[in-house]
Structures are given as structure tokens and as C-alpha cells.
């Protein structure tokens, strides 16, 4: 018995010493994949010292895996610990995908009890789902008790977080508390968060020491009840100015790109009064279009009505919202949609809502047929045609965005392209020379479909970011091999091909977008390899992003051709073509897709992606899919 007690004591001491050694190694920055030069090095070690995060022991190394996406389950534990709380013990799990009694269960239950997560889906917590940046803003605001009430009456400083965005208040909160600065003018709310990024954000929320320089808010602006409408910018690089002065460069406080949404407080002649970073500002009205109260395009006119009495026009479909105009009796108005007993209409160029039962329908007069119609327009001919991919495309007198507008092209209209210089295509328009931005044309060779087409290929990950890894096989090496082969095939067919990386380097996501723009790309194809916690997950899937205008149909066409070629030629499980707002395809103006070849974590898929004969087939399939896209007129 005495010897058994001695053995037990020694065993406990040995285990305690081992645990202390591992903790000490981690606390001292002993991560083999986080060097002292890493941007999050200090913050990661700060959180390790608090017991908020820990690494992984693999093959004798201690890894932090900074470029892996952080999951909702990992975040639940990190913020519960970082905010000074303890896991909650429950006898029954509130979530079907979180087993009661596990370590994860305690932290998830506590996080939800504290209100740190906004929603759950059908009784699930989704612990393995990557956290998005908009969710992150909510989690940090709630976990560290940041005062969000001070930021509910100002617009977001980011052009991709409109005033109708459900998380705008929380994005504002972490921005004005020095926790995030976004990426230029964008916050990228739908992007996922890496473990390194989340360490930075948590450290900043936890300690003033790590906060960014606090942004300065402008003069106080009216609350959102004073907003008279929402607009969407229709051109890239639109200047935001402190005042209505278009001649002074010092007057410019920022820019906003096409698709950016802003709240409008007044229409003052040719200018719209908006807010930018908490202060009043102005943009030129010509380069913006009004949206409905939910931030959507107005669409087409459904019918016309006549007012039966004097009525108010409201900014939203409720009489408690701001009145933006009044209309007399017997005034004819267009109706774009019906919302909860209100009609969406336009009065003096401004969208608004009127009470439906204060109007009566009118019969729209049908135009009489022209007895002397113009002869049908002859088919467009030439070596290079362009098919318009958006509606109301400006044709300009000169090759710049401020030149005189000669007219507009409709979606689906064909034009003869005389020449291309950078992003401007010279076309023949109603018997004269004009210019359009080529991003809104599908360029169609009337011969070899690929000849001279500028195609951007993006091999996912690279350099410090290996992507998915199984054993000695990494995503970055597979994507580079496949992408290089696709390039060779396309070039042999006459295309001009540019690769975002040609070796084991790591261009950032924004670098890849900038590279595409600098090389005047016409389509963008990003090649990736998938992974999952379950080894049974397998197959090919291809993503596109819905951006402004109608051109996302081009993305769907390109994605479908490529996805189907891979599935057919390699007998892959078809996981389909899906929408997802991945950064590189969302921020690329031209048709852009992201291809997930297969799952590295599935033995069958992995066998194909590591076999040279199958790698050749992957490349051939992508090449054929691109060829099919350009062959479609």
C-alpha cells in the first residue's frame, strides 16, 4: 500500500510537471508557426498567458495555426475565458450539434446565456462553422460590454456595411473603439476570420494596450429618422467631399466604389448630402441611384395609380417614419412594389412609400403601333463583338468615366468592338465612335473564342499560408500545379494568361484583386482545395458572388461550365454551383469564380488530386470550361 501511494504521488507530480512545461512553452511564445515578426505575435502570447487560447501538438511541434479559420465553437470558449467567465454546466444540451458534458458544451452554453451570439439555426449552434466578420463585431461588443448605444445614430465608415445591415451598430462600435480598421473602405462583413486575426481583435477588446489609434468621429449628425433615402454608387472612385465644391482636391475626404451604399439626408441641387465616418459629406448625384428602404433596386414599374386625396410620402413603409414629400389629390404615380399596405413609388426622383388605399388603379394606355416603323437593325458584324452584361451601360465620347455620355446600351445588346485600350473598349455606336468600360462587355471573338482574351488565374494560398494540409500534402502545392497547367493550355489556345502567383509566395487577398485590376483581366478563376472535419465529405463545388448589376449571371455561366467539366471528366461528386461572398470574387468586378477541386481530407478525392494523370484532367477540365464560356455567344 505504501509503495502504491508513492507511485501515485510520483505520477501526479510527473503529470503536473508535464502540464506546466507545455503551458510555459506556450506562454513564452513557443509556437513553431508564429515567429516574433508575425503581426499578431505579441497579442497571441498575451492571450496564451491569460489561458484564453492554446495551440496544437503535432509531430513534436507546438502549432497555433494562425491562418486557419476560427470557428464559432472556438470563439465561444475564447470570449468566455477572456471576458472573465466560466463554462456553464447543464444536464441537457440546448443544441443538437453540441454534446452535453463536453468541454465545448460548457463554453457554448455560457456564451449563449451571456447573449454573446445573436442567433442559432433550428436548435443548432454550428460550432464548426467559421465565424464571419459581422458576427465577430456582435460577439466582441457583447463579450466586453462595449457601449453600442453611442453608435446607433451614425452611418458605418465602410461602404460595404449599409445603414440597413443588421450588424451596422456593432461594426461601428468596434471601429470607433479601436478594435478594427477594416480593409481600406471595406469591412468585408461576410469574410471569415482567421485565428491570428481573432487574436488581434480579442487582445484589442481586452486591453487598451493593443487598441488601434482611435478614429475621430465628425460633428454629430441627426439620427437615422432624418434619413430620406438610400443610394447605391454606380461608378468606381467616386469622391466624397466635405462640401459642394468639385474644384478643390483638398475637399475630398474619401472615395466610394461602385456598389457602395450610403444614407442620404438631403438632395441639394446636383449634390446628395450623406454621412461619411460620422460627419456630413457630399457626393455628386449623377453617379448614384436610389434604392428602396431595404437597400434593393426599385425594379420595374408594376402599375400606375392615382391619388384619391392629399397624401404623405414616407421614407419607409410605415406612417411613423419620416415624411419626405406630400402629394395632392388626382396625381398619377408609378408603383414598383407593394409592402404591408403601402406602395413604393417615386416622387421628384426620390423613392418613398404611400398608403395604398389612398389611391386607385389606373389603366395604362398602350402605345399605338407605329405605322411607319424603322427597319430592323442589321446584325452586328466584325471580328470582335461585345455583348452588354448590365443594363443602362453608358457609352462615352472619350475613354474616361467623366466624359460626355453619348447614349446607353441595354443588357444583352451586341456592339462591334474596334479596339481595346486597358479597361476601355472603343465601339461603333449609332454610326459614331464611342467608349465603354470593357468589364461590362462579354468579349466574343468571331473565330478562335480564346484568342487575346485576358484571363487571370489565381492559385489559392501559398507561401506562409499552406491552406488545407494532410500529411505532407498541402493545398498550396496542388493549386499551383493545376493552375500552371491550365495557364499552359489557355496560352496554347491563344489567350493572354496572368497568374497571381507563379511560385510559393503569398499575395494577400487584396493583392490578388489589385493584380487582376492592374492586368485588365476579363475573367478571374481562383483554384482551391477543400477540407472538412468529416472524412466522408467529398466532391467538387464552385462558387460565385452576387455583386451589383446583373452581370453575376456571367459568373454563374462560367462556374457551371467549369464545375460540370470537372465532375464529368473526373467522376467527382457534384456539390454544385453556389453563391458565397468570398473576398477575391466579391471584390473583382469582372466575372469571377472560385473552384474547390475536391476534399483533401477524403481519401478518394486526395488520391485524384495527388495523381499526375488526374491533375492533368483537372487542368484540362478547367480549360474546357473556360473555352465553353467564351464559345457561348
pLDDT digit string (tens) for 312-348? 989 888 888 888 889 899 888 888 888 888 999 988 8
Buried-state track 223-255, b at ≥16 Cβ within 10 A, e below 16: ebeebbbbbbbbbbebbbbbeeeeeeeebebbb
DSSP tally for the chain: helices H, then strands E: 13, 32
DSSP codes of every residue in 173-206: HHHHTTS---BTTB--TTSB-BHHHHHHHHHHHH
- What pLDDT digit, counting tens, does each position of 2-20 carry? 444 434 433 433 333 333 3
More confident residue, 554 or 269: 554
Query: Exposed, middle or buried, 442 (CB in 10 Å: 0-12/13-18/19+)?
Result: buried
Share of the chain above pLDDT 90, in %: 30
Entry pTM? 0.46
Instruction: Summarize the confidence of residues 462-485 as an average pLDDT.
Output: 94
Instruction: Summarize the confidence of residues 515-536 as an average pLDDT.
Output: 93
Q: Binning pLDDT at 50, 70 and 90, where does residue 182 land?
A: confident
- Phi/psi of residue 527, nearest 5 degrees: -110, 125
DSSP codes of every residue in 398-427: SSSTTSPEEEEE-TT-EEEEEEEETTEEEE
pLDDT(518) > 90: yes
Gap between the Cα atoms of 207 and 212, Å rounded: 11
Q: Give the mean pLDDT of the chain.
A: 83
Instruction: Summarize the confidence of residues 165-169 as an average pLDDT.
Output: 82
Confidence at residue 269, expressed as pLDDT on a 0 to 100 scale: 80
Instruction: Summarize the confidence of residues 566-574 as an average pLDDT.
Output: 92
Q: Which stretch of 115-119, 331-335, 587-591 has the lowest confidence by average pLDDT?
A: 115-119
Confidence at residue 324, expressed as pLDDT on a 0 to 100 scale: 87
Q: Binning pLDDT at 50, 70 and 90, where does residue 437 land?
A: very high
Cα separations in angstroms, 505 against 46, 264, 293, 330, 587: 29, 43, 45, 68, 21
pLDDT(122) > 80: no
Instruction: Summarize the confidence of residues 409-421 as an average pLDDT.
Output: 90
Amino acid at each position: 500500500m505504501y509503495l502504491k501511494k508513492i507511485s501515485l504521488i510520483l505520477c501526479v507530480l510527473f503529470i503536473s510537471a508535464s502540464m506546466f512545461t507545455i503551458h510555459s512553452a506556450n506562454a513564452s511564445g513557443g509556437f513553431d508557426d508564429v515567429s516574433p515578426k508575425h503581426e499578431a505575435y505579441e497579442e497571441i502570447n498575451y492571450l496564451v498567458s491569460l489561458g484564453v487560447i492554446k495551440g496544437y501538438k503535432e509531430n513534436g511541434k507546438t502549432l497555433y495555426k494562425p491562418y486557419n479559420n476560427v470557428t464559432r465553437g472556438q470563439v465561444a470558449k475564447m470570449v468566455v475565458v477572456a471576458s472573465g467567465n466560466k463554462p456553464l454546466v447543464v444536464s441537457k444540451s440546448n443544441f443538437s450539434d453540441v454534446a452535453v458534458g463536453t468541454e465545448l458544451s460548457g463554453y457554448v452554453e455560457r456564451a449563449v446565456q451571456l447573449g454573446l451570439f445573436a442567433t442559432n439555426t433550428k436548435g443548432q449552434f454550428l460550432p464548426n462553422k467559421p465565424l464571419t466578420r459581422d458576427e465577430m463585431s456582435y460577439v466582441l461588443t457583447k463579450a466586453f460590454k462595449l457601449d453600442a448605444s453611442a453608435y446607433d445614430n451614425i452611418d458605418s465608415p465602410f461602404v460595404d456595411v449599409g445603414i440597413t445591415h443588421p450588424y451596422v451598430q456593432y461594426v461601428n462600435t468596434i471601429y470607433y473603439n479601436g478594435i478594427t480598421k477594416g480593409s481600406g473602405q471595406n469591412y468585408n462583413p461576410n469574410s471569415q476570420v482567421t485565428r491570428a486575426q481573432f487574436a488581434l481583435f480579442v487582445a484589442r477588446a481586452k486591453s487598451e494596450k493593443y487598441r488601434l489609434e482611435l478614429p475621430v468621429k465628425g460633428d454629430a449628425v441627426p439620427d437615422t429618422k432624418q434619413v430620406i433615402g438610400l443610394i447605391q454608387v454606380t461608378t468606381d472612385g467616386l469622391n466624397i467631399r466635405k462640401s459642394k465644391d468639385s474644384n478643390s482636391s483638398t475637399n475630398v475626404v474619401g472615395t466610394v466604389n461602385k456598389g457602395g451604399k450610403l444614407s442620404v439626408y438631403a438632395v441639394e441641387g446636383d449634390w446628395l448630402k450623406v454621412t461619411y465616418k460620422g460627419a456630413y459629406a457630399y457626393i455628386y448625384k449623377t453617379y448614384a441611384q436610389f434604392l428602396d428602404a431595404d437597400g434593393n433596386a426599385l425594379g420595374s414599374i408594376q402599375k400606375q395609380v392615382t391619388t384619391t386625396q392629399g397624401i404623405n410620402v414616407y421614407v419607409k413603409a410605415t406612417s411613423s417614419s419620416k415624411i419626405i414629400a406630400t402629394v395632392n389629390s388626382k396625381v398619377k404615380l408609378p408603383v414598383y412594389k407593394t409592402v404591408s399596405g403601402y406602395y413604393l413609388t417615386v416622387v421628384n426622383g426620390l423613392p418613398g412609400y404611400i398608403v395604398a388605399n389612398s389611391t386607385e388603379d389606373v389603366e395604362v394606355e398602350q402605345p399605338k403601333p407605329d405605322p411607319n416603323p424603322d427597319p430592323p437593325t442589321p446584325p452586328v458584324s466584325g471580328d470582335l463583338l461585345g455583348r452588354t452584361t448590365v443594363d443602362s451601360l453608358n457609352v462615352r465620347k472619350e475613354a474616361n468615366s467623366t466624359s460626355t455620355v453619348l447614349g446607353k446600351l441595354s443588357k444583352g445588346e451586341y456592339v462591334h468592338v474596334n479596339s481595346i485600350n486597358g479597361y476601355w473598349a472603343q465601339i461603333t455606336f449609332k454610326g459614331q465612335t464611342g467608349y465603354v468600360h470593357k468589364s461590362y462587355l462579354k468579349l466574343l471573338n468571331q473565330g478562335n473564342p480564346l484568342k487575346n482574351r485576358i484571363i487571370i488565374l489565381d492559385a489559392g494560398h501559398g507561401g506562409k499560408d499552406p491552406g488545407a494540409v494532410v500529411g505532407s500534402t498541402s493545398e498550396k502545392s496542388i493549386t499551383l500545379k493545376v493552375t500552371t497547367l491550365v495557364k499552359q493550355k489557355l496560352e496554347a489556345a491563344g489567350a493572354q494568361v496572368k497568374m497571381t502567383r507563379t511560385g510559393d509566395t503569398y499575395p494577400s487577398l487584396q493583392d490578388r484583386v489589385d493584380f487582376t485590376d492592374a492586368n485588365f483581366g476579363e475573367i478571374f478563376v481562383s483554384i482551391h482545395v477543400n477540407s472538412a472535419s468529416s472524412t466522408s465529405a467529398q466532391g467538387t463545388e464552385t462558387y460565385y458572388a452576387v455583386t451589383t448589376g446583373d452581370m453575376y449571371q456571367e459568373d454563374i455561366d462560367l462556374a457551371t461550365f467549369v464545375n460540370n467539366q470537372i465532375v464529368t471528366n473526373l467522376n467527382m461528386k457534384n456539390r454544385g454551383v453556389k453563391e458565397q461572398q468570398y473576398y477575391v470574387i466579391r471584390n473583382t468586378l469582372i466575372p469571377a469564380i472560385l473552384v474547390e477541386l475536391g476534399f483533401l481530407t477524403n481519401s478518394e478525392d486526395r488520391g485524384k488530386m495527388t495523381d499526375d494523370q488526374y491533375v492533368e484532367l483537372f487542368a484540362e477540365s478547367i480549360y474546357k470550361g473556360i473555352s465553353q464560356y467564351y464559345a457561348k455567344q
